[in-house]
Homo-oligomer: A and B are copies of this chain.
């Protein structure tokens, strides 16, 4: 991509109502655009990141047998009345007006109701179980106070997986598989996620887990072991800060703020009973299907990555989700420099590498500042100072190296 043709531009300033790090850096870098409170568009640069996160999630969901589908945003009142979720969370569900008068439809803030209804068409016997389906679909939540940039939104895409089982044992086994898939996802996105037994909420604590990433931007407070994976919400934590970890017995417990990047729930038969999703077991008896649901918001993952991976100059993307792998920058307007840079761009892109090529007529200062702000992992600078060589620098390091094109191609295993 030629940076001179990129739809977005960086900006040095940002509206003063953007208090979070992620909203500030993502807005300045040209990744997102605020439409309303808690409602953001993803600009081309930002959408590249979202798509990579989604693809990582998709691959891990497919590995555990998830089948991708997509349900509807508009949801009928009658369906949600059956589970008593039409009125109860009235602060959450946006209602839409079809005609005059009382609303008869709302916007889905989760999809347990429709997925249970759809499953009824296809699940009637133990032979039809287990099943797991997932989607990437917009959720709408009338959050009383959206803040934290793209971490807590009123409109956002969520990956939600729903699983259906004939027995608790089968659900328990699958639940552990999803837990591992979630750890893989966060790990691949460069996040260290702690698994926290959730306290309260709509379900009792032993039936749900949260994936928490330590960050000052977080709304939650957790007690965690500095060494192993042990973590609990502060209110319910059994250990105190400074004590030995009750699980590994070696690490010390510390307290921190954290962002919830995913959550998983054992729903049991709550929805299958309300919506009559039954199956005939091996003895010929009717039983309610046992369900679980599992959520991750790719946008929240993106916001959290920024919160834990930035410096004074800008974002530092992990390579797995970066919009581009290389930011190629040419400085000055020397013909030899331009020719060399054009050649490097052609060679890298022809080899399938993702390159943002700063071919703009801008000062060195502007170009290097923009590169730091946007945060692409590898910076390649070509200038009259570098001669026939190219200056390579990782975004997360201060070290620069002067290399020939061949050395760079070979370092990144690009076939020349």
Interface residues of A (CB under 8 A from B): 5-9, 11, 30, 33, 35-36, 39-44, 46-47, 50-51, 65, 67-76, 94-98, 103, 105, 107, 114, 118, 121-122, 131, 133, 138, 140, 142, 154-155
Contacts and interface: CB of A to CB of B under 8 A. Distances in A.
Contacts of A72: 35-36, 39-41, 155
Contacts of A36: 72, 74, 76, 105
A47 B68 contact: yes
Contact of A97 (B65, B75, B103): B103
Contacts of A50: 70
B122 A8 contact: yes
A142 B71 CA distance: 18
A337 to B, nearest CB: 21
Given A7-B133, A133-B44, A140 B74 contact: yes
Given A35-B76, A41-B118, A98-B142, 13 more contacts: A11-B121, A33-B121, A40-B72, A41-B71, A43-B118, A47-B70, A51-B68, A73-B73, A74-B94, A74-B154, A94-B98, A95-B97, A97-B103
A72 B34 CA distance: 9
A321 to B, nearest CB: 16
Contacts of A39: 72, 74
B74 A35 contact: yes
Contacts of A114: 35, 41
Nearest to A76: B36
Most chain B CB inside 10 Å of its own CB: which residue of A7, A44, A103: A7
A154 B41 CA distance: 22
A67 B94 contact: no
B69 A42 contact: yes
Contacts of A121: 8-9, 11, 33
Given A72-B155, A98-B142, A67 B7 contact: yes
A71 B105 contact: no
A193 B100 CA distance: 39
A184 B69 CA distance: 27
A57 B25 CA distance: 31
Contact of A73 (B6, B42, B44, B155): B155
